[in-house]
Amino acid sequence: MAEPQPRTAGDVEEEVVKAKSAEDRKAAAALASMDSSGDGTEAAEVDAAAVSKAMKNLGTAPAAEKKEVKKVKVDTADVALLVSSLIIFLTLCSFSWHIFGSAADKFQRTVSDTYIEPNETQRQRSAAGKMLSSILLITGALVAWRVYKFITGLRYNIARAKSTGLPYYIVPINPVNNVVQALSFIWHPVWKLLVPKKYWEKIVDVCEHNWQYEKKFAPFAKMGENILIATPTSLMLHTANPGVIHEITSRREDFPKPLEYYGILAMFGRNVVTTEGALWRMHRKVTSPSFNEKNSALVFKAAIDQAQGMTDHWLRTQKDGSFKTVEHDTMSLALNIISYAGFGLRLIWPGQSLPADADPKLARYASLDPPEGHTLTFSESIGGLLHHLLPLLLTPKLIMNHAPFRVFKEAKEARDNYDLYMQEFLQQKIQEVRRGDKDIGMDLMGSLVATSYQDKQAGSKAGIQLDDSEIIGNAFIMFLAGHETTANVMHFTMLELANNPAAQRRLQQDVDAILGRDTDPATWNYEEKVGAMQASMLGAVMNETLRVMPPVVEVPKKTSATKEQTITIDGVRHTLPTNTYLGLCVTASHRNPRSWPARPSRITGAPDDLDDWVPERWFRPSLSEEEKQLPDVPETEDFGEYAGPDTSASMFRPVRGSYIPFSEGPRACLGRRLAIVEVITALAVIFQKYSIENAVDDWASNDEVARMDRAQKEALYAKAVRRSRDVIASCEARITLKLHNGRFVPLRLVRRGEERFVDWFDS
């Protein structure tokens, strides 16, 4: 891999000039000043020469920059189209005129017979006729225009699809749009009715909501690892090809994020997830220093405290022998950990009280009752916000504020409460900065405020200055990104461990060996233990959950509006036109048989086990070194955060681009190290003292289970495992992949040694 180079003053200057908008210029200038005053450790952007060199190493020099595929000109076919649209339009008008004109006539005659003077009638009749004809004219014109746009748009995108040299499929509507997916029950039948089966039978699978999780690798097995789709409004490529994924994620500037899909995440202000170009670099520079090893150690400590709080809570509430709130509770666990490590806020479980050394100013955030001025607790406001993200995005503020629906009221209440909490928190941090408090910068919000306000105070003109909404926007994104994703991984890992008792037993053996069965978790040392934990079954179960149930099922990218890009697919160069949507399909690439060694499924009897949760696969030998070597596209700038691999070096190492739960390259997840530490630590705490079993009380009481023999117990537990797998199969990706519509799997926490099933059962 090419060594990162320091950015020169020339590079920086060029970036300032390249920055298009005033905001981008502000950001680039801020970075320029940072760079010129910095220690020179920052590395270079991907530069064209280096990419070219890397491509040459592959034996394929990059094609000379081609011009954008020319917009399909209005040629004879277009003229014919326009004429035919006009004919449709005129026919429609005259036909409607005929029908509605005579209907209006009849209506007017009826009315005039009773109420209106004859000459008045005539005037009314002609006015009604005129109005009808205007409506018809406008409707006809719109229909004709839409037909024209549909056909020319489709022809244009088909031409662009052809220019790539890849096989392509035609779909009548852009299927990436959420609303279009939700309405598939209307347009799919029409599409299937009007178009011969061979044109839709394969591609229809990738036009449905949740296809990435439900269909998994199947569409790619049928259509190849790259599925190109032309629609009247767009060209899109879904890929499960590791080489393509690696190249796209490595070339950040060539393949930016389609920000139009991220509007929802900018609700409280622009942030590191919702920006691109120089502005993104500024946000990333300010946020990344908080993602250091010191904070990982804090997460380790917080995860120990919080996992103990959660198990105590389960034991207290497990009245009928089981608990049904594992999803809710893992969400609380993750929120409490990120609140502490990222923001210095101590949140507690019901029944717990704040430690004596807790900052009284922050107690209002931990309160289990809404503090003065609020109608929700801090946790409730964040929970409500996440729960109602879609209505909050899709509903205009005016309707949200006034419509009498419960969902809008709840969404508004959560948003207003959260906003207020954050404003209060921000003001508190600003005051601390103004007072010059020494420990400011320990937490994320503190360091965001310090970076922006200390510079302002010092009168610096060029320093990075996020405005208040950007500080709150970044805080929101850290709560959101660091919360639901990690909670889902913990939730599904616990469900899978209950379904796979042999894996659970092996996990416990590893915990005993690394951390000791009787040790107090409060004494565990981060630096000493974390490496071994990641290389053990703790790391394996987390990696496997992230493989089978990645919280983010597709990472969206695109080519820019101004420049087409070339990529290499299995050694052949292809050109992707401007504005091509690129979907890096996480669920499918995690199941691509080319990248993942497989064995026959023990669960379904399928020839491979790639759809099954099998953590032991992480101890299988890696693919050959030769296969692991993908084109060496240089990495881009170092932003200071954790840069190590996502999986332990001693385990199975996936081919680059084949395992992307955290995405890859310069825009990979900023919080991945925190997430890994959090998950493996919480699991270690839980499984050191306890086992987790599926609850069976829907079928048998505790007494009945006690009277059962092994065979009866085996049949009973197998039933519970089947139910759990069915529920897991019903997950849906709505922002992240999780259970919806009140679905859950009941579990039971038992002290080790008191298990009824998982100490012997083997699925």
The CB-of-282 to ligand HEM minimum distance in angstroms stands at 11
Q: How far is the CB of 61 from ligand HEM (least distance, A)?
A: 30
Closest to 221 measured CA to CA, from 199, 202, 247, 197: 202
Name the amino acid, one letter, at 30. Answer: A
Task: Tell me if 671 contacts ligand HEM by CB under 6 A.
Answer: yes
Is the CB of 174 or the CB of 249 nearer to ligand HEM?
249
Residue range at the interface with ligand HEM (CB under 6 A); choices 357-365, 502-510, 607-615, 661-669: 661-669
The token pair at 713 is: 């117990």
- Say how far apart CA 496 and CA 477 lie, in whole Å: 28
SS3 assignment, position 513: helix
Does the footprint of ligand HEM cover residue 382 (CB under 6 A)? no
User: Minimum Å distance from CB 229 to ligand HEM?
Assistant: 20
Q: Is 657 in the site for ligand HEM (CB under 6 A)?
A: no
DSSP strand pairing (235-239 vs 226-230): antiparallel
Q: Which of 313, 667, 725, 756 binds ligand HEM (CB under 6 A)?
A: 667
Shortest Cβ 676–ligand HEM spacing (Å): 8
Alpha-carbon span 12 to 21, nearest angstrom: 16
- Indicate whether 304 belongs to the interface with ligand HEM (CB under 6 A): no
- Type of residue at 97: W
Strands 168-170 and 226-230: parallel
Taking residues 477 to 496 in sequence order and writing x for each that binds ligand HEM by CB under 6 A, - otherwise, the string is xx--xx--xx--x-------
Judged by beta carbon, residue 342 or residue 384, the one nearer ligand HEM is 342
Helices (H), 292-435: 293-317, 326-343, 363-366, 378-387, 389-394, 397-402, 406-435
- Note the maximum CA span of the chain: 102
Contact 310, 349 (CB under 8 A): yes
Identity of the residue, 614 or 669, whose beta carbon is nearer to ligand HEM in the bound complex: 669
- Where does this chain touch ligand HEM (CB under 6 A) — which range of 96-104, 116-124, 301-309, 667-675? 667-675
Element (H, E) at 555: strand 554-558
Nearest to 265 by CA among 420, 480, 468: 480
Scan residues 263-282 and list those touching ligand HEM (CB under 6 A).
272-273
Which residue in 449, 552, 728, 749 binds ligand HEM (CB under 6 A)? Answer: 552
By CB under 6 A, residue 663 contacts ligand HEM: yes
Q: How far is the CB of 663 from ligand HEM (least distance, A)?
A: 4
CB of residue 626 to ligand HEM, shortest distance in Å: 28
State which residue, 174 or 486, has the beta carbon closest to ligand HEM. Answer: 486
567 membership: H or E segment, kind and range = strand 565-569
Nearest-CA neighbor of 614 among 761, 499, 532? 499
User: Toward ligand HEM, which CB reaches closer, 576 or 696?
Assistant: 576
**Minimum distance, C-beta of residue 521 to ligand HEM, in the bound complex (Å):** 21
Encoding tokens for residue 209? Answer: 């909501």
CA dist 410 and 269 (Å) reads 21
In the complex with ligand HEM, the residue whose CB is nearer, 585 or 705, is 585
- Part in contact with ligand HEM (CB under 6 A); list of ranges 434-442, 622-630, 656-664, 737-745: 656-664
Shortest distance (Å) from residue 666 CB to ligand HEM: 7
Q: Are strands 235-239 and 580-585 parallel, antiparallel or unpaired?
A: parallel
CB atoms within 10 A of CB 66: 13
Span near ligand HEM by CB under 6 A; candidates 420-428, 574-582, 659-667, 697-705: 659-667
Least distance (Å) between residue 539 CB and ligand HEM: 13
E strands in 178-230: 226-230
- Does the annotation flag 669 for ligand binding? yes
The residue (of 339 and 499) whose beta carbon lies closer to ligand HEM is 339
441/671 with CB nearer ligand HEM: 671
Query: 397 vs 346, 390, 392, 757, CA distance in Å?
Result: 32, 13, 8, 52
Between the alpha carbon of residue 732 and those of residues 352, 488, 489, 493, 740, the distances in Å are 34, 12, 14, 17, 7
Q: Which is nearer to ligand HEM, 260 or 625 (CB)?
A: 260
CB of 485 to ligand HEM, least distance (A): 3
Helix (H, G, I), strand (E, B) or coil at 554: strand
432 vs 484, beta carbon nearer ligand HEM = 484
Q: Which stretch binds ligand HEM (CB under 6 A): 28-36, 376-384, 456-464, 548-556?
A: 548-556
How many CB atoms sit inside 10 A of residue 185's CB? 8
Q: Is 169 in contact with 202 (CB distance < 8 Å)?
A: yes
Q: Are 45 and 253 in contact (CB under 8 A)?
A: yes
Question: Binders of ligand HEM among 322-351, rule CB under 6 A?
Answer: 338, 342
CB of 669 to ligand HEM, least distance (A): 3
Residues annotated within a binding site: 669
Residues that bind ligand HEM (CB under 6 A): 257, 272-273, 284, 338, 342, 477-478, 481-482, 485-486, 489, 551-552, 555, 661-663, 667, 669-671, 674-675
Residues annotated within a binding site for heme: 669
